Structure 1
Amino acid sequence: MPNTPERPRRISVEDQGPMLVEGPVEVTCADGSVAVSDRFVVAVCTCRRSRMYPWCDTSHRRRVKREENTEAEDGPAS
């Protein structure tokens, strides 16, 4: 997929997140494989945690464990 010379490709780099690239895009990975997306905007993984690499699956987000409050759910103990 060649770029068109009349309009440059727009890329947005997010802190602690993926690179957002206006599509369609072809990404050539380090192993020589090529990933293709026809989407309007794609999120390219920059942390390498994604299970869908080179596409971002939000694995970079910090996981926050919710505190369980069993008393509030079950009611007061008798």
Structure 2
Amino acid sequence: MGRAVQATSVDPEGLAEPDERPCSIGAYPDGPLLVRGSFDLLGPDGERIAVRRRTIALCRCGRTRTAPFCDGTHKAAGFTTRTPAPARPPDAAAAVAAAAPASPRG
């Protein structure tokens, strides 16, 4: 993947300077992915995306205007990472009754 971009402070050009910490990525509940430490941030074309902070937040909701970075839009959009409760299975007795053939009346 190329040379690691390591972020701890900002140089005069506004780009991150080297940081020797290993990269860590954490998911913020109902929000972005937080990336810290040494990492390369590459776009879909493989080009390096400038990193200007020690910690960056990457969008997970898909609605940001500053892709790939989070701009807080997830809050207004109601983005959630919580999974909905699974659908309740049908009542077993009702399922058996529905599946049974109708008995002929005599």
TM-score (norm 1): 0.59
Q: Distance in 2 between matches of 1:52 and 1:29?
A: 13
Distance 1:48 1:27 in 2: 17
Q: Aligned with 1:28: secondary structure?
A: coil
1:23: how far off? 4.5
Q: CA RMSD in A?
A: 2.8
CA distance in 2, matches of 1:54, 1:25: 15
Of 24, 27, 35, the residue aligned with 1:13 is: 27
Gaps of 5+ in 1: 64-78
More strand by share: 1
Alignment length, in residue pairs?
A: 63
Divergent runs of 4+, >4 A: none
Gaps of 5+ in 2: 7-19, 78-106
Q: Which has the larger radius of gyration?
A: 2
Give the structure with the higher percent helix.
Answer: 2
- Distance apart, 1:22 and its partner CA: 0.7
